Amino acid sequence: MDSILEVLIGRTSNFQLESNIVTKITQLDICSCYLCNMSWKENRLYSIFNGKCPVCHEGKVFSHKQVFHPSKFDKMEEKCSECGHKYEIETGFFYGAMYVSYALTVAISVAVFVSTYLIYSETVYWVYILLILGALIGLAPVTFRVGRLIWMNFFHGHKPDAIANYKAKTDGKV
C-alpha cells in the first residue's frame, strides 16, 4: 500500500490523506490483486472462447466442433459430461441468448461499416449493405454459439470443485 500512496502523493509530500481516500485505495488494491491472481482457466472468458461448460470449464457445450457446418453448428449437449451441469436450466432459457446474439450482430455491423468507410470513403450505400449482410450471414453460426455461451456464463460461474462433487454424487448412486 505504501508504494501506491507514494506514487499518488510523491515521496516529498508532507500532507496527510484523509482516511476515506486510504480506504478506497486499499479496496482498489485488493480488487486488482484478485483479478491478477485469477488464472485463465478460472475466467469466464475461457469458457466462452473455448466452448466449455460454464461451471467446470472441462466439458464441451456443443456436440460438434465444426462451427460452419450447416446442420451441426447448433447441436448442443444436454448436460456436461464432466460435472453433470444441465445447460438448459429451464424451458426457453436460451431465448435471452437472442439478445446477446443481437448485440454481437450490431457490433459486427458497425465494425464492417466503419472499416469499409475508412478503407473506401466514397462508396455507394448498397456496397455497405451487401458487405454487412455478407458478414452477418457468414458469421451467423459464430454469433449463435457465442451468444449462447455468453448467456450461460451470465448465470453460472466457475466452481473448481464441481467435477469432484459430481463424481462423489454419482459414485454413491452406482
Same domain for 11 and 46, yes or no, is no
Task: Quote the domain boundaries for residue 146.
Answer: 41-173
pLDDT on residue 99: 96
Same domain for 116 and 163, yes or no, is yes
User: How many beta carbons lie within 10 A of that of residue 62, not counting itself?
Assistant: 20
Instruction: Find the mean pLDDT for residues 97-107.
Output: 97
Same domain for 92 and 158, yes or no, is yes
CA distance 117 to 105: 18
pLDDT on residue 34: 45
Question: Considering only 14-18, 103-107, 161-165, which range has the smallest mean pLDDT?
Answer: 14-18
pTM: 0.72
Q: How many domains does the chain have?
A: 2
Instruction: Find the mean pLDDT for residues 95-121.
Output: 96
Same domain for 29 and 56, yes or no, is no
Same domain for 46 and 28, yes or no, is no
Same domain for 52 and 78, yes or no, is yes
CA distance 141 to 144: 5
Provide the pLDDT confidence category of residue 16 given band limits of 50, 70 and 90.
very low
Same domain for 155 and 105, yes or no, is yes
Write out pLDDT tens, residues 145-156: 999 999 999 998
Query: Is the sign of the CA dihedral 104, 105, 111, 115 positive or negative?
Result: positive
Same domain for 33 and 56, yes or no, is no
Checking if the pLDDT of 122 tops 50, the result is: yes
Cell readout for 73 is 453448428
Same domain for 30 and 54, yes or no, is no
Same domain for 102 and 50, yes or no, is yes
